[in-house]
Structure 1
Amino acid sequence: MNLTIREASLGDAKIIIDFQIKMAWETEKLNLDRAVVEKGVISVFNDPNKGTYFVAEGEGKIVASLLITFEWSDWRNSTVWWIQSVFVIEESRGKGVFKKMYQFLSDKVKRIPSLAGLRLYVDKTNTSAQGVYSKLGMNGDHYQLYEWLK
């Protein structure tokens, strides 16, 4: 599949919103409130400090999206990019779409001195995604995620 990876624009918001709603249902059986997701996605476009969306286009349409958020690392005196909200449409899965997106992002991180690396979190039961991330050279050896959400 011939893919183009690019930073998303506000015109891509509708498809990103759709992707987020589908992802929540597929991964956690959560029915998200569309109005809340819409405000959340638009908020990223309106405030670049919140993050940056990237999309993959292939065969004349957007086939995947992800969100990058930022973590300041005082240990490294640089920023770590967090990969979040990854969604690849069903018919494009298993075709290297995420791999190409990951390579695009890791190449950017390598070129920009103020960036330290990439991180992501994955549901413990999502062994398929864990396999993909491992094949790309990522590992889950160092940290375990704990959270409290309202």
Structure 2
Amino acid sequence: MNIKIRPGLLFDIQTIADFQVKMAFETENGLKLDPPTVDKGVTAVMDDPSKGKYWLAEIDGQVVGCLLTVPEWSDWRNGTVLWIHSVYVHPDFRKHGVYKALYSHLKTMVEESPDLRGLRLYVDKTNVKAQDVYKKLGMTDEHYHLYEWMKG
């Protein structure tokens, strides 16, 4: 399969939003997101590139996966770390290297940029399949535990 990676564009908003609703339901124990809110959230990223950037994987012109990168300034590294968020690969295309292609694209961007320092992501503790994929690509979980507080 020839997997093409490209930035998300305005005409991709609905596809990305649909993927995010499906991803949340699948990976967050049946969490049902409000589609209009997700549409607005995806649109906000497209309208303000400082919020992040979507990356899409296509096979034969069909979008089969996506993720969002969110920049975080690191004073320790004097550069930007990209956080990987909202990873989704259509079920029909899993185990075909879609996420690997997305990740490889990002890793190459970081390696070639003097301003980018690395990649990070978080994963639900129960999502063992995703953890296995990340480990196979050379990512580690040895440095940090993520703690959060979210307003109701």
Equivalent residue of 1:64, what SS?
Answer: strand
TM-aligned CA deviation for residue 59 of structure 1: 2.7
Q: Which residue of 2 aligns with 1:51?
A: 52
| 1:25-44 → structure 2 map (5 Å cutoff) | 25-28=25-28, 29-44=30-45
User: How many percent of aligned residue pairs carry the same amino acid?
Assistant: 55
TM-aligned CA deviation for residue 105 of structure 1: 0.5
Whole-angstrom CA distance in 2 between matches of 1:34 and 1:103: 30
Whole-angstrom CA distance in 1 between matches of 2:146 and 2:24: 19
| 1:78-117 → structure 2 map (5 Å cutoff) | 78-117=79-118
Q: Which residue of 2 aligns with 1:68?
A: 69
List structure 1 runs of 4+ shifted beyond 3 angstroms: none
CA RMSD of aligned residues (A): 0.5
Runs (5+) with no aligned partner, structure 1: none
Whole-angstrom CA distance in 1 between matches of 2:136 and 2:114: 25
Q: Which residue of 2 aligns with 1:6?
A: 6
TM-score (norm: length of structure 2): 0.97
Equivalent residue of 1:49, what SS?
Answer: helix
Q: Which residue of 1 aligns with 2:145?
A: 144
Whole-angstrom CA distance in 2 between matches of 1:60 and 1:75: 40
Q: Which amino acid aligns with 1:5?
A: I
Whole-angstrom CA distance in 1 between matches of 2:60 and 2:32: 29
Equivalent residue of 1:113, what SS?
Answer: coil
TM-aligned CA deviation for residue 8 of structure 1: 0.8
Equivalent residues, number: 150
